[in-house]
Chains A and B, each alone.
Chain A
Amino acid sequence: MPGLTSEPDDLAMVPVSLETENQPVVNYPLRHGLKSPIHRLSFSWACGNTLRVSVFRKPQSETADGEGEAGGRVVEVKLSNSGDEEVDAARWRRMAYSSVTPFALLQSRKHSLSAASRMSLDIPPYKAEWWEHVIEYSKEISSLLSDQKPPPKSIIEDAKSVVNEIAAPVCLKAAWELLEIFYIDKQSQSWIPERLLDWLADYNSLFSGTLPTIHSKLVDFQQELVGVQVVEDDPNYWDAMSSALAVGWLETVVKLLRLHGSYRFDQLSSREAVYLFYRVPKSITLCVFCLRDLTTGCTAMSDDKVDFLVLFVSHCSSLASKNGLVEAVAVLISKMPRMRPSLREDNLGECYKTKPDFMKAWEKWRTQISKLDCSSYWLQCDHRQTREGLKNLIQIMLGNPTVLSNATFNWMELFISHFLYVRPFTAGLESMHNSAKKCMQVKPASIPHKLFGLILGILGENTEVVLAECSRSFGPWMMAHAVELLTAGSTHAEILLHEEHSKLGGVSIEELHRLVYAQVLSSHALTWQIAPIYLTSCIKQGIRLLENLLYKQPVQHSQILLKSIEICRLYELDTINSNIMRIAGVHHWKHGRKGSGVFWLQQARDEFRLNRIAKQLFDFVGKSVSDEGFKQWEGLIELLGSESRTAGGLEFLNKYRDFRRSLLQVHGDTPTDAARNAAEALVSLMKNPSTPQRFWLPLLYDSLKLLMWQERPLVNVSQTQLLLNKLQELSMARLRPDFVEADLPSDALSSVRLALATNLGRAILEE
């Protein structure tokens, strides 16, 4: 369908850019599967960023072709996914869960440090400590971004394997590392170019999908290499080496050089070779062997010996010229000075920690290269491809811009090659940015990669661009977590991210990103539980959003109810806690689980509803109910208990329950004591002002057997008079229009009156 994007990007759209009004509207398809024309739509937001759209078909009378088709469909649209299409849902959830702990730990450390330093983390001792925490956080997040394992190392190394395949590299990790390099890792500030070089070595393959890269070139060449007999005759062999050298993959170049035909007669052991090197230096062949062992073993070779080698090669005899040149170049490559504290495993070069040492070594190295370049011996090398190929490698090392440009495929590679060979002493973001811009002019990218945008933003020291690129390309997870790196690493970023925006209701960008991420988490039943961690780190608007989130949980599921309550208790959200328990209570009550209903309403301290329930229980009063019914009723009274004292009428119900219970125990043959207890309970009930008038007659009617107790009167004179008075009062009340007649036999009143009168007579006689 024209105008529709086939792969919808992430829509966790945060307005970080100031230019959003000019951005095109994103189109999302809403695949409903109905064949007939659509009549109308309606929608509803579900939790988080999920939208549910009801698509209604035109009624059948209006359209003939919709025979037998559904009346419509409800389509669920998740507007925010992981934010990175290369990460699948399960993996994304794993990542979301594992990043919670580092994030929460950092937040708690921030709180305690802020408290200790009285709100300012800029004071030196706190700043240093904070820095340590951020570095630790960054490393932890970075480590969880890739669960890749290093490829198993084969015992017999494949000599023709030049490219290491990284298992499923992710842009997210590449982006995170970039931020770490430029914002957090202050120790590496002096050797940023080298870190970028490492970074490109790790992630060059990421660009292969959209751009030509050296990585893809090497992969192609490696496949070709299996079938090649005389490798040095293949122009691709030399091209691959110059490309790898241009971006500083020295070990790859040296490994490839070893495949050169001049090494084919290697027979001597390394010990002999070393020995021969010192004893018989004029034997060219032996010298080559020896050097090879020395270089591959990475044993220290003094500069004197390199000088000697260059000199030696320049004067060696024609027979072995080729071998000597190849080895000389290999040695020079492996001796390249590097401005960094240490090398990674298997990497070649010589490290220099300080700039003066590095500069000195660099000058010397370049002089050695120049010497070799100017050697007249090149004329005697009869293998044209070798001669030209090696010359090309030398030109790269000498920083020839044209050769560098030819050897690289995109501006990023050219940019790195410039660091290595053209401006090795580049420092500062501004000069790096200028260099990057120049490289982009030379090699403009037709399809800009999302990581390029980020690099340019960082080099240009433009926090807005960095934020916009992160948000657009790497989604809400990145934004919520990376903000800590930006604020720690740049004052400008800190101001920008912590500034409160009145146009957005007083929220800062930092908080906004966390809110957005929390909404993404809220969209899924398996991740909503971690959203509170992020929401509670938002002072301004997080708590309310958390309340909204909790309110939307389906609390009729007990697991969800318990989880919600746990969250409420943890963050002291009492109002919403009561609300959740109230919803659960009402749900259970209405579904016939009265006990659970009362329990949860009590937990919610909902006196209002408990009162109403108590009132419903009044309906039992005076009714002849089955034993089962009474037990249920009794259970509810028990549950309502004495805890909710304010629940009006509960006092009466409790008393009534006691009375009813003792009355049930009274039979014809019951001892008089038990009957007397029941009579006492009756009198107490009738005396009590909380006993509603409408129950007076039913109570007395129920107690007829007590009032007419055979053995002796159970109610004394004054008590009987009290009961008679109540009866009189009742007769007066019957005259009022709002009087509700109890559901009793018509002779109930006269029976009670007669019983009371008889009892009075007997009581008087007894007294």
Chain B
Amino acid sequence: MDKAIIKLEEGTTCTAWNYSGHRLAAGSTDGTLFVFDSTDPASSVFSGSSKFKVHESSIVKVVWAPPEYGDVVACICADGSLLLWEEVVEDSELLQWKLCKCFDRISSLVLDVQFGVSQTSLKLVAAYSDGQVKVFELLDPFELKNWQLQAEFQNVIESVSKFGNVSCRSASIAWNPLKGEIQQSSFVLGFDSDTPHLNSSKVWEFDQDHQRWLPVAELALPADKADPVSTVAWAPNIGRPYELIAVATCKEIALWHVGSNPDSDGRLSVEKVAMLSTHDSEVWQMEWDMSGMTLATTGSDGVVRLWQCNLNGVWHEQATLQPTS
């Protein structure tokens, strides 16, 4: 059932598929981005369609913007810069990839970035190595160079004084994948930093009335709050009365149910429903399938694991995909 479909260039460091799985962007150590396309939607045959230099330093992560905004990728580079590239026809020229935005880099590095679609605008959350979180907003859907900083905050649930001199190794952001006209924008964010308060995953929701971002849930038991978070994943919800979020720490992968109705403090109820063993390895990536019923994870152990829940609500490892030459 396994079939090699694309040969990646020497020095490829990361890959990202677009929304439909018909385009792949692959970043490499020399800052070049390769784009592979399938010409026929019915086949898994891909060929390289573009190759261009994004930046001087190595690309460490590529993220596609939602298709409602065209073919746009955000590239995080090893020097901490964040760039947006767009494939577009301008002024009767041929279709080509163009740099549309290079976010100013002051002193901290960009660790993770994710796009989220709200009613009228595109939002971009970026987590930085100094523990800051910035939310940018795109005002004109056709002008990808004009981003407005909507908010800037730290990943803390209590409004205490700001933590200085923070150093973060990694961060992970996941938007609520629900698409619909009524849903509030929300995302979950966790850090791997030297500041315990910042680490635990928190769910942030945009308060439309007051135009601000509020932490509405913390996904960590009191004893585990300082555990560095390596990655988070928010499951698509196709009809559950609660949200399902996976949080990977150094100890385990925890699955959380998050209620939808806030209490009087504006907090959502949370329940840790499963602890999945990481097999003593670091988890680097987690992703839910389109139904939100299967969680795939991978990490330093070099295998992909698939997890599912049985009728008793018990989560278990269902399958392992093991690389073999």
Q: Are A33 and B288 in contact (CB under 8 A)?
A: no
**Highest count of chain B CB atoms <10 Å: which of A18, A504, A542:** A504
Query: Are A30 and B304 interface neighbours, CB within 8 A?
Result: yes
Question: What residues of B have a CB within 8 angstroms of the CB of A81 in the complex?
Answer: 1
Mark out the residues of chain B between 274 and 304 whose CB falls within 8 Å of any chain A CB in the assembled complex.
284-285, 287-291, 293-294, 296, 298, 302-304
Q: Is the CB of A612 within 8 A of B1?
A: no
* Bound: A31/B1 CA distance, A: 10
CB-based contact B238/A616 at 8 Å: no
B160 part of interface (Cβ distance < 8 Å): no
Q: Are B87 and A59 in contact (CB under 8 A)?
A: no
Q: Is the CB of A506 within 8 A of B240?
A: yes
Q: Which residues of A contact B4 (CB under 8 A)?
A: 31-33, 73-76
Please give the distance in Å from B263's CB to the nearest CB on chain A.
21
Most buried by A among B87, B240, B284, B287: B240
Q: Tell me if A334 is interfacial: C-beta within 8 Å of chain B.
A: no
* A704 CB to nearest B CB, Å: 29
Contact partners of A547 in chain B: CB under 8 A: 179
Query: How many Å lie between the Cα of A501 and that of B240 in the bound state?
Result: 11
- CB of A44 within 8 A of CB of B20, answer no
> Is A128's beta carbon under 8 Å from chain B?
no
Q: What B residues does A76 contact at CB under 8 A?
A: 2-5, 44
Instruction: State the CA gap A381–B41 with chains docked (Å).
Output: 77
Q: Across the interface, which residues of B come within 8 angstroms of A591, CB to CB?
A: 88-89, 95
> Residues 1-31 of chain B: 1 if any A CB is under 8 Å from the residue's CB, otherwise 0?
1111111111111111101111010101100
What are the residues of chain B within 8 A of A75 when measuring CB–CB? Answer: 2-5
Q: Does B223 contact A (CB under 8 A)?
A: no
Indicate whether A553 reaches chain B with its CB closer than 8 angstroms. yes
Chain A residues near B68 (CB-CB < 8 A): 579, 582-583, 586
Flag the segment in B107-115, B162-170, B209-217, B310-318 that touches A.
Answer: B310-318
Q: In the bound complex, do residue A503 and residue B312 qualify as a contact, i.e. CB atoms below 8 Å apart?
A: yes
Name the residue of chain B whose CB is nearest to the CB of A26: B319
Does B180 have its Cβ within 8 Å of any Cβ on chain A? yes
Instruction: Name the distance in Å between B324's Cβ and chain A's nearest Cβ.
Output: 5
Question: How far is the CB of A415 from the nearest CB of chain B, in Å?
Answer: 31
Bound CA span A582–B122, Å: 14
* Nearest A residue to B1, CB-CB: A78
Instruction: Give B8's nearest chain A residue, CB to CB.
Output: A72
**Residue of B1, B179, B294 with highest tally of chain A CB at under 10 A:** B1
- CB of B21 within 8 A of CB of A46, answer yes
Establish whether residues B240 and A505, one from each chain, have CB atoms under 8 Å apart when the complex forms.
yes
Q: Kindly supply a per-residue 1/0 record for chain B positions 38-74, scoring 1 wherever the CB is within 8 Å of any chain A CB and 0 otherwise.
A: 0001111010000000000000000000011111000
Closest A residue to B120 by beta carbon equals: A608
Closest chain-B Cβ to A124's Cβ sits at a distance in Å of 33
Inter-subunit contact A41/B302 (CB<8 Å): yes
B1: A residues at CB distance < 8 A: 8, 28, 77-79, 81
Asked if A70 and B323 sit within 8 Å, CB to CB, the answer is no
A11 pairs with B323, CB closer than 8 A: no
Interchain CB contact under 8 A, B5 and A505: no
Those of A512-533 within 8 Å (CB) of chain B: 515-516, 519, 522, 525-526
Task: Tell me whether A52 and B17 are in contact (CB under 8 A).
Answer: yes
**Bound-state Cα–Cα, A194 to B137, Å:** 73
Closest chain-B Cβ to A145's Cβ sits at a distance in Å of 23
- A residues in contact with B46, CB < 8 Å: 74
Chain B hits for A592, CB < 8 A = 89, 92, 95
Cβ of B141 under 8 Å from chain A: yes
Residues on A with C-beta less than 8 A from B69 are 586
**Also in contact, A526 and B6, with CB within 8 A (given A13-B318, A30-B324, A544-B237):** no
Q: Which of A71, A544, A586, A590 contacts B9 (CB 8 A)?
A: A71
Pick from B7, B21, B142, B294: contact of A616, CB below 8 A: B142
Task: Please report the C-alpha to C-alpha distance between residue A31 and residue B193 in the assembled complex, in whole angstroms.
Answer: 36
Q: A53 contacts which chain B residues (CB < 8 A)?
A: 304, 321, 323
Does A60 make an interface contact (CB < 8 A)? Answer: yes
Q: What chain A residues lie within 8 Å of B140 (beta carbons)?
A: 612
B195 sits at the interface (CB 8 A): no
Taking a contact as CB atoms under 8 Å apart, the answer to whether B2 and A31 are in contact is yes
Q: Which of B86, B293, B318 has the most CB of A within 10 A?
A: B293
Inter-chain CA distance A11–B324, complex, in Å, is: 19
Consensus secondary structure, chain A interface: mixed
Residues of A within 8 A of B318 (CB): 11, 13, 20, 25-26
Total A residues in contact with B, Cβ cutoff 8 Å? 100
State which residues 26-78 of A face B: CB under 8 Å. Answer: 26-35, 38, 40-56, 59-60, 69-78
Number of interface residues of B (CB under 8 A): 87
Within 8 Å CB of B70, what residues of A? 586-587, 590
Within 8 Å CB of B314, what residues of A?
20-21
Separation in Å of the B236 CB from the closest CB of chain A? 6
Give A553 Cβ to nearest chain B Cβ, in Å: 6
Give a binary string over A574-598; 1 marks a CB under 8 Å from any B CB, 0 the rest.
0110010011001101111000000
Give CA–CA (A16, B8) in the complex, Å: 40
Contact of B153 with A by CB under 8 A: no
In the complex, chain B residues whose CB is within 8 Å of the CB of A16: 311
Q: How far is the CB of A470 from chain B (nearest CB, A)?
A: 15
**B288 and A503 form a contact (CB under 8 A):** no
Chain A residues numbered 535-592 whose CB sits less than 8 Å from any CB in chain B: 540-545, 547-549, 551-555, 557, 560, 575-576, 579, 582-583, 586-587, 589-592
Whether A55 contacts B323 by the Cβ 8 Å rule is: yes
Return B112 CB to nearest CB of chain A, in Å: 14
Which residues of chain A have C-beta atoms less than 8 A from B7's C-beta? 70, 72-73
Per-residue 0/1 for A730-767: is the Cβ within 8 Å of any B Cβ (1 yes, 0 no)?
Answer: 00000000000000000000000000000000000000
Neighbouring A residues of B184 by C-beta, 8 Å: none
Interface positions, chain B 86-128, Cβ under 8 Å from A, are: 86-89, 92, 95, 120
Which residues of chain A have C-beta atoms less than 8 A from B148's C-beta?
none
Determine whether B159 belongs to the interface, using a CB cutoff of 8 Å to chain A. Answer: no
Q: Confirm or deny: B322 has a beta carbon within 8 angstroms of a beta carbon on chain A.
A: yes
16 contacts between A and B (CB under 8 A): A1-B322, A4-B324, A25-B317, A25-B318, A27-B320, A29-B2, A42-B15, A54-B15, A54-B26, A71-B10, A79-B319, A509-B311, A519-B291, A543-B239, A548-B291, A560-B41
The 7 closest A-B pairs by CB, nearest first: A505-B240, A503-B313, A592-B89, A541-B239, A15-B310, A544-B238, A46-B21
- Which A residues are closer than 8 A to B by beta carbons? 1, 4, 8, 11, 13, 15-18, 20-21, 23, 25-35, 38, 40-56, 59-60, 69-79, 81, 501, 503-507, 509, 515-516, 519, 522, 525-526, 540-545, 547-549, 551-555, 557, 560, 575-576, 579, 582-583, 586-587, 589-592, 608-609, 612-613, 616
Q: A56-B13, A73-B8, A74-B4 are in contact. List 19 more A-B contacts (CB 8 A).
A: A15-B308, A28-B320, A32-B4, A38-B302, A47-B21, A53-B304, A54-B8, A60-B10, A72-B8, A74-B8, A76-B4, A79-B306, A503-B311, A506-B240, A543-B239, A548-B236, A554-B41, A591-B95, A612-B140
